[in-house]
Structure 1
């Protein structure tokens, strides 16, 4: 009862500070409560001398009634209370359940397999590009074929000539394995070109960049929805580094298309380093996956 009276007296005094009333205001308390009429009399004395109002706020702001001031003070106290500040967060529904929590590891395992496939396509495209240089170098080592279309045809013509040039025939025979190698490389190049590794590598890399970054963001968001905080550690650091390396590799593509070998080296190096981080992320994420399965429920 005493505490209630003190609270009401405090609120009434706070309200009277706006208007400096001359009339006494009863707190409505009985027994041990007191009246603020004496304090109001003191305020009358102060108001008769003059108010300390250098900004002239009392002339511009309408007076607030004691009841409104009390309601305002109580509302402010309730809003600023720890209970209001620590209210429960939003219900994320299925996103914070086991279904939403398993989306991230499933996507990451898929991205790991897709990264290996994309890397293989990249090396196939590189092989297709460099085969032309190898074939050209081997053709330069062949002897003069005297207008023949192949070493075999030139050898047959040389052996059937009236005067056989033994040295020339020997050179042609030595060039037969080189011709076989050229034919094998030419066939390999045609097979690679027919499978289209260049376009497949570009398309898969673009998908990998989009989905990988999307789920790299989805993972921390899902963790925050379930636990209300993040857990910095090897798994989070590996994922962040992987996203950076993906972005670096993608940024090299325009220069690579112009034939910049340095950009190609950076692109390949970033992707190889990214594969290493991916392996680290998977190994560090398996214990987290087991905890997610343990502490979440379907759906």
Structure 2
């Protein structure tokens, strides 16, 4: 690419990809660069890593039915399924994208980050750190919780994460925006998850369609959310959030708006 601007890696566990995209947004706003390629990849499906997560009790034991092993927000969830992959987004000022005749998929309008300060691997059950990241992303985007129409949840299929995240969504978003988690289909890409899910969120905004949560059959009564199930849902989305909540209490949230037809103040938009 012959890119000679700042080059760096972000390491925030399962939030790393989202942190990279948020960091790129900050670099663009600061004027340190005029275009950025940001994302993440991970490839750790090998004995050492699998054994570590298994000993931790984080992986699904549903070996007799692997297609149904990853079950975000389902009462029968018992752990995540490790996966490999990656994604990268091109970020540039909206005005530059329009000048090239490429308005972009969505406008990256806000980024928020926080730490749980709670436990090495378990999330804060009250979701205080995650809520702080959500509010910071919305403040950065100049939006309110009531404006959010869709959430691409972290949704790992683990008992602790999904319960905490679902209750967080119910508490902050009583108007029940649509919710999905693609980990039921893709598995958990660990450090790459936030980048892949950011790209999917941008596509949901661009195409007005939300993918379903795979293998979700029954939700917990006190943590029920407006999850998209069965088939994808056609839905206009003007503001969406992508949640990434990693081990160690690393929280990163990205806010995406639909691309405006008129010049916008927000400086960065994903584009091909």
Task: Point out the structure with the larger helix share.
Answer: 1
Task: Point out the structure with the larger strand share.
Answer: 2
Give me the TM-score of the superposition, normalised by structure 2.
0.21
